[in-house]
Amino acid sequence: MTKALYTAQAHVAGGRNGRGRTSDGRLDLNLRQPKELGGDGAGANPEQLFAIGYAACFGTTLALVGQRGGRKADDAKIDSSVSLLPSDGGRFKLEVELQISLPSVTDEQAVELVAAAHQVCPYSNATRGNIDVALVVNGTQL
């Protein structure tokens, strides 16, 4: 087994209506069902946390891919949407859309960089083949 470069640790008690905190204490928050799912919406929910994590990771990966190719790509702004959808047999699934604005390069270069970053990003690799991920780059859907 390969040695991990980094391992995040968190503890959650109470599920979607509980409390979650990381082992280092930097993130400590109330978790609540969103109003759309019958909750009070008075806390964060897993889909929000996933949306932030994916966007942050993708942005960093995009900057690294750009740097490797001699292009500036560290000015990306990413709006991420994570949707919870009903599935067969009472199950649920996720769907993601990343809207990426990359103003420092041409639209053609932005599309190339985003496609390359999508092959490298750990979140993209974790979701590939499991959930639908739509990428929109400078207004163009890949």
**Domain layout of the chain by residue ranges:** 1-44, 46-141
What integer pLDDT is reported at residue 110 of this predicted model? 96
The predicted-structure confidence for 36-56, as pLDDT tens digits, reads as follows 999 999 999 999 999 999 999
What integer pLDDT is reported at residue 114 of this predicted model? 97
What share of the chain in percent tops pLDDT 90? 99
Fill in the DSSP letter of residue 3: P
In the CATH scheme, what is the code of domain 1-44? 2.20.25.10
What integer pLDDT is reported at residue 51 of this predicted model? 98
Q: What is the mean pLDDT of the chain?
A: 96
Nearest Cα residue to 102 out of 53, 69, 132, 131: 69
pLDDT above 90: residue 1: no
Nearest Cα residue to 137 out of 106, 99, 104: 99
Which amino acid is present at 99?
Q
For 48, phi then psi, to 5°, come to -65, -45
Topology of domain 46-141 in CATH is: GMP Synthetase; Chain A, domain 3 (3.30.300)
The predicted-structure confidence for 76-108, as pLDDT tens digits, reads as follows 999 999 999 999 999 999 999 999 999 999 999
Mean pLDDT, residues 11-32 taken together = 97
What share of the chain in percent tops pLDDT 70? 100
